[in-house]
Amino acid sequence: MDALGAALPRLALADADPGPDDACGSPCSVASDCSSVASADFEGLFSPSGADAGPPSLLSDDLPAAAAEAATVPCRSVFALDSPPLWGLQSVCGRRPEMEDAAAVVPRFHRVPLWMVAGNGAAVDGLDRASFRLPAHFFAVYDGHGGAEVADYCRDKLHTALVQELRAAEGRDDLSSLDSRKQWEKAFVDCFCRVDAEVEAPDTAGSTAVAAVVCSSHIIVSNCGDSRAVLCRGKAPLPLSLDHKALGYHHNSSHLLMT
């Protein structure tokens, strides 16, 4: 699984609205911006529970306390929105004899503690950072080569491995000393390494990966290889990832973006 094992995600900080020098994402750039979202704008548009909220979490055991809190919080906070984003998918085989690519869409794949997106500190919008959990949705594309085995394995297993790594981060006792961005970095690095070690495929087979964890306030993107994530803001494309290529490869080429 050379493509997936070649480079691992890393975390850094950048402005949410990058300038010309970092429009393609610098080697150390994480963007985090909630300031442009007014929670009052969402009043009455969504509810954190109900028949229209969509299917339940597929992988995460929803904690009773967190679920009860989410059900009683008025939806005046962007963190309390519980509706998956609209999404679409198209895949074209091209000239290859078989489809070697794969994609994964897992709505509500996990409930993320608020501190992992908002950091530590005082309550936000009346929500406790340690106990309140917001739904996260997983999207990923895997560009396989030399066969479909690796891409298919990533499609089936990568998000479950990420849930396990996130739970390990959430189980740490002293949250005040934890950097949420470093926890995302560690979770993705360990997740990629775990899947790379588990997959059984011919040496000639491999896959790239680009994954996005989408919450109501943040998007966390990690990539391995030359699959790309692009955010469309208005009519302007905003790259969220850096390609990993053999030419010009260096030890800092991996990239994790949080916006």
- What pLDDT tens digit does each residue of the chain (259 aa) get? 444 544 444 333 223 344 444 433 333 333 333 333 333 333 333 333 333 444 333 444 444 555 555 555 455 688 878 888 888 888 888 888 888 999 999 999 999 988 888 887 767 788 888 888 999 999 999 999 888 899 999 999 999 999 999 998 887 766 666 788 888 989 998 999 999 999 888 888 889 899 999 998 899 999 988 888 999 888 899 988 888 877 654 444 444 454 4
> Residue 192: its pLDDT value, please?
92
The pLDDT value given to residue 60? 41
pLDDT of residue 117: 87
Residue-level pLDDT at 175: 63
What is the structure's pLDDT at 255? 46
pTM across the whole model? 0.67
The pLDDT value recorded for residue 95 is: 83
Write down the pLDDT at residue 19.
41
Query: What domains does the chain contain, in order, with CATH numbers?
Result: 2-258 (3.60.40)
DSSP letter for each residue of the chain: -HHHHS----B----SS--GGGTT--SS------TT--GGGGTTT--SSSGGG-SPPSS----HHHHHHHHHS-S-SGGG---PPP-------TTSSS--EEEEEEEEEEEEETHHHH-SSS-BTTB-TTT-EEEEEEEEEEEEESSSHHHHHHHHHHHHHHHHHHHHHHT-S-GGG--HHHHHHHHHHHHHHHHHHH----TT-EE-EEEEEE-SS-EEEEEESS---EEEETTEEEE------STT--TT--EEEE-
